[in-house]
Amino acid sequence: MQIRAIQQEIDVWVRANGGYWSELSLLARLSEEVGEVARAYNTRFGGKRVKAGEGLREIEDELADVLWIVLCMANQQGIDLEVAMGRVMEKVRARGSTPAATA
């Protein structure tokens, strides 16, 4: 599925379910979700122990939650992330560096 198609699917769902949260609420939610990615990494690769009754957090699910919020933010701002990612990839290729090094 293309990014644009995912953005459209999310937009339809969000609008059918009450609309987008405010910009600052989305930003706060992004911070929460990134924290959950950090926790998943720390339980998987770091020194954090899993609490009783708590399974290992699935990194892929947490990353998908981050992506969901980022796509909501893009939709709310009228940003086509497929186009934006194309520009990022052009920049990466021109620099001859890895994507992680461009952040």
Name which of 86, 84, 79, 88 is nearest 7 in CA terms. 79
Residue 46 backbone dihedrals phi, psi, to 5 degrees: -105, -155
Residue ranges covered by each domain of the chain: 3-102
- In the chain, count H helices and then E strands: 5, 0
What pLDDT digit, counting tens, does each position of 29-62 carry?
A: 999 999 999 999 999 899 888 877 777 778 999 9
Mean pLDDT of 54-79: 92
Name which of 79, 61, 88, 58 is nearest 10 in CA terms. 79
If you ran DSSP here, which 8-state letter would residue 51 be given? P
The CATH code for residues 3-102 is 1.10.287.1080
Provide the pLDDT for residue 91.
Answer: 93
* pLDDT at residue 102 tops 80: no
pTM of this structure: 0.84
